[in-house]
Amino acid sequence: MEIKIKTPLPHGGRLVDRVVRNPELGKKMARGCPAYDIKPNLYNGMPVRNVYREIMSICYGFFSPVEGSMTQAEVERVLKERRLLSNWIFPYPLVFDISEEDYKKLGVSVGDRLLLRLKGQPFAVLDIEEIYEIDPQEIATRTFGTPENNPEVVRRAFDTKHPGYVIYLSLNRIVLAGKYTIINEPRLRPPFDRFWYPPAKSREEFKRRGWTTVINHQTRNVPHVGHEALLRNAAFTGDTKPCDGILVNCIVGAKRLGDYPDEAIVEAHEMVNLAGYVKPQRHMVTMLLWDMRYGNPLESLLHGIVRQNMGCTHHMFGRDHAAVGDYYDSYATQILWEKGIPSFGFPAPPNAVEYGLLIRPQNMAEFWYCPHCQEVTYSENCNHLDEIQRFSGSFIRSLLSEGLFPPPVIMRPEVYKVVVKWWKQFGYPFNNKKYLTEREKELEVDLAPMDI
């Protein structure tokens, strides 16, 4: 029998590292190139995506083996089979899109190098391999699937109420395909700086901590007690003993109105260990720059890739993983990881196909509070179905917006204080229009001035 689980190789065999750390080399690479200022994609006037986050996640290796904006053939293969041209599985098209107007202004063609500026400073270059046109509506629909084409898990047609769908709808029609290289390394701004662990660094940190088995907890939320129960209990899987470490990887990027601000999310998760609910030695909070697509099973693939690249051996998946609304089956992600979804190109689970993943799923049912058990308990255990109380994120948010202190059985008091801290900062506990618009100017990074 198989003995001792090991840290998995990165997806595709090696970590992508497309960051030039020598500023002189960076300058030289960009000299004489036409320049373009990165701007967020808008939908209905609201920012929904900023390609800078994809460039960061690609160049720092989170999305290994992806190295840049995909060619037309690669987008086609991803949409058909969820595989890159190199055969490695990948769920989403990732492209560098610009408007026809900008394209004409730039006057670039295949073989050119384009300098990308962020916050007015040189940031990265894109070596153009191909230029082609897309139909955003078609890409949006094919990215997420349809009830007709993906009857195993898609329950209804995607529409503009879905925040991932509108990201693809918001794309400009011209795509410049090619590899990115960061030439002016951005500095993460507080509080994000201390949560920034690109895969090479997180793998190093795991080694330093003596972690082999590490389970990832995906989050885009301030943790309530139910989230914490999921996180702690899922970690009882492992090898010959429970997982050595729990990696919390927070999605930081464009969010929806009414979500918690990302600053509160990362610090609230950190508070779980600072306040001793999971020992800091066993718990590590990190982040991923990503404008979430909410693609449930497809998003879980991206999560598997990112966290395998970070060095995790396991990934927990709950009900409605990375989902919004009822477009997908509530258990679509677990179906993918239990038996596969043939219509999405997976006749078997993503870690049982060639060029697939090496990370292991921990598919979890629900946690609820049971007054009879007098504790948070697991739906496969507790049989007091007349008495149970389900956790409700919207209930907690309604308590908060009324200014009520949530009971400790719902939210840890220390975690609540983190929410209040950022509430005071932003004037409202949840993302409003002002926050979402401002953050696309501020972003999560600062760039040192670089004269080319």
Binding site for a copy of itself (CB under 8 A): 1-3, 232-238, 240-242, 273, 276-280, 282, 334, 337-338, 348-349, 351-352, 358, 360-365, 372-376, 378, 380-384, 408-409
Nearer to a copy of itself, 18 or 314 (CB): 314
Q: How far is the CB of 352 from a copy of itself (least distance, A)?
A: 5
Nearer to a copy of itself, 222 or 357 (CB): 357
Nearer to a copy of itself, 293 or 360 (CB): 360
Q: How far is the CB of 113 from a copy of itself (least distance, A)?
A: 40
Q: How far is the CB of 1 from a copy of itself (least distance, A)?
A: 6
SS3 116: strand
Q: How far is the CB of 340 from a copy of itself (least distance, A)?
A: 11
Nearer to a copy of itself, 56 or 89 (CB): 89
Q: How far is the CB of 386 from a copy of itself (least distance, A)?
A: 10
Nearest Cα to Cα of residue 270 among 192, 189, 188, 187: 192
d(CA 209, CA 71): 40
For residue 428, give every residue at least 6 positions away whose Cβ sits within 8 Å of its Cβ, in sequence order, or none: 435
Nearer to a copy of itself, 35 or 352 (CB): 352
Nearer to a copy of itself, 237 or 330 (CB): 237
Q: Which residue has the tokens 């979804």?
A: 341
Q: Which residue has the tokens 């940031």?
A: 123
Instruction: Give the ranges where 107-253 is alpha helix by DSSP (H).
Output: 136-144, 163-169, 199-209, 225-234
Q: How far is the CB of 418 from a copy of itself (least distance, A)?
A: 17
- Find out whether 63 and 16 touch, Cβ atoms under 8 Å: yes
- Find out whether 48 and 166 touch, Cβ atoms under 8 Å: yes
- Output DSSP code: residue 194: G
d(CA 215, CA 236): 9
d(CA 78, CA 91): 6
d(CA 338, CA 17): 32
Q: Which residue has the tokens 């464009």?
A: 254
- Output DSSP code: residue 192: G
d(CA 394, CA 65): 37
Q: What share of the chain is helix, strand, coil (3-state, %, to 5)?
A: 35, 20, 45
- Find out whether 249 and 292 touch, Cβ atoms under 8 Å: no
* Bridging pattern class, strands 121-133 and 41-43: unpaired
Q: How far is the CB of 279 from a copy of itself (least distance, A)?
A: 5
Nearer to a copy of itself, 167 or 370 (CB): 370
- Find out whether 243 and 312 touch, Cβ atoms under 8 Å: no
Cis peptide before 65 (omega within 30 of 0): yes
Q: How far is the CB of 11 from a copy of itself (least distance, A)?
A: 13
Nearer to a copy of itself, 44 or 240 (CB): 240
Alpha-carbon dihedral sign for residues 96, 102, 106, 108: positive
Q: How far is the CB of 331 from a copy of itself (least distance, A)?
A: 11
SS3 289: strand
Dihedral of the alpha carbons of 131, 135, 136, 140, in degrees to the nearest 10? -120
Q: How far is the CB of 82 from a copy of itself (least distance, A)?
A: 19
Nearer to a copy of itself, 234 or 312 (CB): 234
Nearer to a copy of itself, 200 or 229 (CB): 229
Q: How far is the CB of 125 from a copy of itself (least distance, A)?
A: 38
d(CA 229, CA 231): 5
Nearer to a copy of itself, 10 or 93 (CB): 10
Nearer to a copy of itself, 1 or 449 (CB): 1
Q: How far is the CB of 275 from a copy of itself (least distance, A)?
A: 8
Tell me how crowded residue 34 is: count the other CB atoms within 10 A of its CB: 12
